[in-house]
Structure formats: structure tokens, C-alpha cells
Amino acid sequence: MAKNLILVIVGHQGYIRHIEDGADYASENELLFDSISNTYLPLINLFYRLEAESVPFKVSLVLSPMLCALFDDPMVQQQYIEWLDDRIALGEKEIIRCKDDDSLCDNARSILAQYKKDKADFCDKYEQNLLKQFAEIAKNEHLELIATAASYAYLPHYADMPEVLNAQVEAGLYSHRRYFGAAPEGFWLPYLGYADDVEKVIRSYGINYTILDTRSILFSKDSPADGIFSPVRCYNSLVVFGRDKDTPADIVAEETGFMHNPLYKNLYKDIGFELDADALGNCSASGKARVATGYRYWSKQDTVYDKKAALAQAEKDAKTFLDAKKTKLDAAEGLLNGNDASLVCAFDAAMLGQDWAEGMYFLEQVIRGSEGMTLSCGADLIQNQFSLPKIKPYPSAASGTGYGEDLLDSSNGWMLRHTRKMCERMIDLAGRFPDDTGLKVRLLNLGAKELMIAQCGDWAKMLHEGRYPEYVTERFKQCIASFIAVFDSLGSNTVSTEWLTKIEREHPLFPWMNYRIFSKKK
């Protein structure tokens, strides 16, 4: 009997793209650039290192279409290189500033060396093409790439609109094939949001499995005897895995989560918020919001950061994590009547470097130390797809307290009424203009893209958490205004080609978009 540990890393981000200000980037761009340096480049390097050392491993990875579009954008790539140059220049100054304190100077040198390596890796080693690297690793069968919805929309909000669900799934799958050159076996539901009959849409596109929150499995009408430790299937034979309820809580939970250990780096104490603007060079602009620079020298206990001690703690935490998962699988082994036991541990990619500086090293130790368990992917475990027990999953999510209520509350509820009205109009437009060409097609495709940007679940999440509320509100209103302009132009049969070209240039997302994906299926 095998004990399978399935590690799922979920990478996604709202479509935040600022190119109009030259090198003076908006602070929101830091979200993407920080993720490249601290998560995605290290993740690629980790996978290649493990392959070179012949370490057996398998990991599942979700890269949302919007994130892929940003990675693939030449303007964003150039911005990232300039962003690295600014931090390298700052690091050279920091070594001089900290020269009288050996501990601080060592930390500055280490961070500077990493930024220089990031630039060499991104520009020379990987030729600015991160997506190609993930695709290559997937070809070597160490990585399973899982598709997800086009704009990471919370699908239960549109469960009564099959055309919208079809559009999100179809565009997400098209994006996946375009960037990675292969059709996926699995589909990740954003925020694990499940509502009745969502599985019918997913399965209709040839998807073989998905992952649901624990509640969806255990609260189902036909609750399976094996719980979440064996895959089951919906009545249309879509295979379903249940997510381990303790992950990522064992990593992020306040006070008890691994990432809060006092030895770890304090990511909130950055020189970008402490030094004078003049000392920060191009990393800070006069009159602009302060941004993190990555030069952080302190631990969570306000002592100078000791990297060696922090990494040693990460090794201990990885062992604790693995011991807990193995204990679960051992206990399940005695209850499954000889069936293989499987456990799905899913967490956001942001935990690996962005929210937890030592997170990537933790992941490496988990992969290297998984003796007694087999690192697997969902696609490896569905060979008996049509003989699995059948269930009707219970509606739930892995957001809020289990039902996505944080994505529809007093802070962000106003957004949904606008996106639903936009959906109604987009479905109507797709039906009224089924065979048009020229400017009308450009307008309709733009309307579809603006709708999908507005549907992105990150906006509601950011408002709920109080992150960049002014930006999110303005960004969302821009989508509404652009969509209304499209709708009115089609209604009056007039269009400003100058305006259309300007918006297309600002939002080059999904250049392959075909508005007909919102058409009613016949």
C-alpha cells in the first residue's frame, strides 16, 4: 500500500500592469517583481537542482492565466530588469553604509549577491522566459501543471450563468495550452470555490480531476468511507481529491504557524521604510509611496538576521510537517482496506519567499525528506477513474471560514452586481453579433477582456484585506467604464478608433481572446 503526498503550489495574481510612468513604477508592480525574485525564479532553480542531483520528486503547480500573461509581457520583463538594476545599485551603496557593522554588511552582501544572480538567471540563463522553463520541467515529468480559470474568478458567484462558467474555463484551458503546449489533466477551482453543477462544466472540456475543500467531500450526501484519503468521483466521473484541512494553516496560522518562528526574517522591517528617500536612489521616488527594497537585516525577534540559524529552523519545521503528514497517512492506512492513502497539501506560491523568506528552503527540505511517502501528482492516481465511489460534492470553498464569505462582504459586495450585469450584457452581445468582423470584433474582444479583468477574485480579496483599496477601486471602475464604452459604441454603431487602440495597448491581456466564448451553447 502506497502513501501518496501531493504537494500543490498555487500561483496567481491580478492583472496589475503599469508602463505609463517609465522607471517610476507604481508600488502595486512590486507584487509581481517581488514574486519573480523570491518565488518563481527560486522555484525554477530548485526544480533544476533537484533534477541534476537525481532526487525523485513530483510537484503540482498552478499558474493562473493572468500571471502567465504578465510573465510573457515584454514590457513587464524589461521593467523587471530595470527594477533589479535599481536594487543592485542600492545594494552597492548599502555595503558602504553598513561597512562598520559586520553582521549588517554580511546580510547586505548576501541580498546583493542574490539580486545579481536573479538578473543573470533571468536575462542570460532563462532568456527572460520563465514559462518555457516550467514547461520544460513538466516535460521531464517532475512537475504537473494544472489549469485554472482565466481570471481566477470565484466561480460560485456565477453558478447560475453557464455561459460565464464556460468562458472562464474555456479561456483558462486555451491559455494553458498556449503557454505550456499540452492539455491538462486537472483543473484548479479558484479559492476551491465549488457550487452545484460546476463539475459539469469542467468535465465537458475533457478535464479528468479537480481538488475540493475538505467540507465538499465530508459534507456530501454520499460521504465516502475513505474520507479525503482516497479520490472519489462526481456522477459524471470527474475525479475529486479532498484538500488536507491542516495545510496551509500549519504554515500560516497566527503564533502557531511555522512561518512565525522568531528566528525567521522580518519581512516588514525593510530599509525602504526606514532610510531617507535620498539614500534609496531609484528605489524611492519623491512624493510616491514607499516600497520594500528587499534589504531586510532583522529577524522577527528584532535581532540581526542569522541566515544559518533560520535555515536550520526551516529544516526542523520541514521534518515536523512531514512527520504530521506521515502520521495521518499511517493512521489512514489501517482504515482503507488495502487501498492507497493519499493526502493533498495545497498552499499559495506567495508562502514560498514572498510571505516567508525561508519558505523555498522549507519546500526543498520537504521534498528531500519525504522518505516513507511517495511524492505524487493527481494525474498519477486516477487510473481507476471509472470505478471510484460516486458523490455529489457539498458547496464550499477554501476562503473565509469555508464558504467564500470574505469574497462577498461589506467591503467588496458592491463589485459583484456590476460584474453580473456586465456578464448579462456580454452574453447578449455575443448572441447579437455572432459573425461580425473588423472594428466590431475588436470592440467585442475588448469587452470580453475587460469583463474578465473585472471578475478577477484578487480584487475582492485585496479589498477585504485592506491592501491597495484605492488602487483596486479605481482599477475596477476603469474596467466598468471601458465595458460601458464598448456596449454603447456597439449600440450606437460608432467607435473611436483612437480610444480603442489606446485601451488595447494598455491591456494586451489575452491577445487571442474570442468574445464568442460567451455565446450560449446550442
DSSP secondary structure string for all residues of 82-96: HHHHHHHHHHHHHHH
- Asked whether residue 494 carries a pLDDT value surpassing 90, the answer given is no
Dump pLDDT digits (tens) for 317-344: 999 999 999 999 999 988 887 788 999 9
Q: At what angle do helices 413-432 and 162-180 cross, to 10 degrees?
A: 80
Residue 259 corresponds to which cell in the numbers above?
512561518
The pLDDT value recorded for residue 277 is 83
Number of Cβ within 10 Å of residue 24's Cβ equals 11
Percent of the chain with pLDDT over 90: 84
**DSSP letter, residue 258:** G
pTM (predicted TM-score): 0.96
pLDDT, tens only, 123-154: 999 999 999 999 999 999 999 999 999 999 99
Per-residue pLDDT tens digits for 357-408: 999 999 999 999 999 999 999 999 999 999 999 999 999 999 999 999 999 9
Distance CA 167, CA 147 (A): 14
Mean pLDDT of all residues in 265-287: 84
Per DSSP, the residues of 334-384 read: TTTTTPPEEEEEEEEGGGTTTS-TTHHHHHHHHHHT-TTSEEE-GGGG-TT
Classify residue 141 as left (phi > 0), alpha (psi -120 to 50) or beta: left
For residue 124, what is the DSSP state?
I
Contact between 240 and 391 under an 8 Å Cβ cutoff? The reply is yes
End-to-end C-alpha distance for the chain, whole angstroms: 46
Contact 135, 181 (CB under 8 A): yes
The reported pLDDT for the residue numbered 19 is: 67
**203: CB partners within 8 A, 6+ apart:** 234, 236, 237, 238
Sign of CA dihedral 425, 431, 432, 433: positive
Q: Is 37 helix (H, G, I), strand (E, B) or coil?
A: helix
